[in-house]
A and B are shown apart, each in its own frame.
Chain A
Amino acid sequence: MFPATFEYYAPTSLEEALNLLRQNPEAKVLAGGHSLIPAMKLRLATPPALVDLRRIPGLSGIRLEGDQLVIGAMTTYYDVQTSELVRQHVPVLAEATDVVGDLQVRNWGTVGGSLAHSDPAGDYPAIILALGAEVRARGPQGERTIPIDQFFVGMFTTALQPGEILTEVRIPVMGPGTGAAYVKFPHPASRYAVVGVCAVVGREDNICRQARIAVTGATLYATRATAAEQALQGQTLNADTIRAAAERAPEGLTITGDRVFASEEYRTHLVRVLTRRALMAAVEKIR
């Protein structure tokens, strides 16, 4: 539990941080540190330098901009969990935060850190993916907006380019006729998702107009269960159609297992069960 030697930088502006990343191409960006620091202590990660974002003003906070809820990258889970704006406009995010990590993790861990880390078993990647958000990043070439569907590209890999810093996530507010739920099957040791499924359902006249379903834990990175989404699209929403759609959830997903707790076969089963439960709960929450 003793990391290798590294340099530590604490810039006070985004420009300074971007410069530091340009000067130290192997440097890692430090947000809440609850994934990076343990990996460094086990010497699984040995970055020569850390660029800590905590002293940069303006990177945290939650605000409403038109029909988007904007959450700064350095906003902690705790701030999301307790935000009235989040409860009002994207309630699933506040509710789901209850099952993220533990109190310490929620006090330190950040929204941007979770997304940029793209942990295969992280909760937020699946939730933000299902919510159809977009991500803003600043880099040497300036600012750009990345649709969340293009953001997660692999295990611990995102569309962020070297030297780019994720600055905020923009989530469409949930209007009338939409409901969402995140269902998580936690690992008994790590409390990471063995499988987690977030479902967002839009309903009109009891017909499913839109369904976005994202899976974490079972896959290498947060991935949409498109076969299930399509199966539900245009269907009357009831227990039978939801069950039928959920059965198809694993289609097209690359599901992986482990040798201690949950095999690929079992996780595939859980993807079906949790998709059904998430859809049922999402429909229940439509307002």
Chain B
Amino acid sequence: MVALAKPFQPVATGASLDIKGVSHAFDIDGSVLPVLDDVSISVAPGEFVALLGPSGCGKSTLLRLVAGLEPPRAGTLEEDGVAITGPYPSRVVVFQDPTLFPWRTVWDNVALGLEAQGVLKTQRHRVDAAIDLVGLGAFKKAYPHQLSGGMAQRVALARALVNDPRILVLDEPLGKLDSLTRITMQAELVSLWQRNGFTALLVTHDVEEALFLANRVIVFSDRPARVTADITVDRPYPRHRGDPHLAELRRQILGLLGLDATW
């Protein structure tokens, strides 16, 4: 409840993210498969940036590089001007699958980061606060197999937020949810982002979702991914799905993705 009791903090606690000339490739059966081709993106502190692109174009790979799970083949990534060399809890990833640890209760799952960093003993209240933040206070002792898909993904969000990330990396976190739960959680994501002020980097397939959430939408080409457009979404929050300005942007982005025939 500590986090909720605090007054709204408009001051951005997010970090800046600089992706400079990053290229990446995979070796598959001896041949080299290029996935990222000279990608440069600069994200300001506290910005919400959505990455849109065709399926399999390499967006998720870019997120793995940002998280520090893999080093890029070429180029550099920097958090607040410091090179990213490995995973660090200031950059937390929420994956498409909640990947909760089935042998841990909701509380223990959320506590994972603090436990791994060895600060759980003094910081237990942060776990409770994070669980309350995503509205699952009544499920602290439940095991993951007892949760619905939406609840599990909320737990995954709480597990990320408990670390007070400066950059929250979201890899299609709502991709597998039903459409009603997705709409609810999109609104929750916006309010969490506004409340906590982190920098958010979201990969999604859903143009409407990108426009509903993000300050900027970056459109990628087919693999190997290159940045084909960088669109600023200059609309205030909370946004409305029926906003004609968003509809126009949506038409424009679908055109960039070669899907304008469906409009």
A and B, one complex?
no
Chain B contacts to A: CB under 8 angstroms: none
Chain A contacts to B: CB under 8 angstroms: none
